[in-house]
Amino acid sequence: MILGLSVGAFTLLHVIITLVAIGSGLIVVGGMFASHRLPVTTALFLLTTVLTSVTGFLFPIHGLTPALRVGILACVILAVALFALYKEHQRMALDLRDYCCRVTLFERFCSCRAELRESFSSHCVGSDAV
């Protein structure tokens, strides 16, 4: 049980949050290409990205895995991005907003790779899955 949910139900919740993060991230990137500011979608993207990282730490994993390393890195990057975007937004140029979105998208890519790797290695017990 994780937060009152079975591991399967919690995994489903984690995956849904991740998919919302990916979808809203794609919308934010589209807005960046069109030079549109999408503050609500950007906030949704950052919130769901934070939730994905935090819920990833709640899984019953033993030892320091690649997914946990990426999660730690993601939390650090997200803290910097959130500070830069919401605390320092009046003093920073628009380029910083673009940088924050690029960094969080890179983090999301790394996180997805690590989660896929963990998923395949846990399903292939006894094999040398990469």
Residue 1 within any structural domain of the chain: no
Residue whose structure tokens are 């934070």: 50
Higher pLDDT, residue 25 or 111: 25
Sort residue 82 into left (φ over 0), alpha (ψ -120 to 50) or beta: alpha
Higher pLDDT, residue 120 or 25: 25
Domain that holds residue 54: 7-119
Does the structure show a pLDDT above 80 at 110?
no
pLDDT band at 6 (very low <50, low <70, confident <90, very high): confident
When divided into structural domains, the chain yields a total of 1
Residue 78 within any structural domain of the chain: yes
Higher pLDDT, residue 81 or 11: 11
What pLDDT does 93 receive? 44
**Global pTM?**
0.65
pLDDT band at 130 (very low <50, low <70, confident <90, very high): very low
Q: Tell me the mean pLDDT in the region 120-124.
A: 53
Distance CA 22, CA 112 (A): 10
Distance CA 82, CA 107 (A): 14
Residue 63 within any structural domain of the chain: yes
Higher pLDDT, residue 128 or 43: 43
Q: Tell me the mean pLDDT in the region 65-94.
A: 73
What pLDDT does 101 receive? 67
Distance CA 64, CA 68 (A): 6
Task: Give the helix, strand, coil percentages of the chain, each rounded to 5.
Answer: 75, 0, 25
For 46, phi and psi rounded to 5 degrees? -65, -40
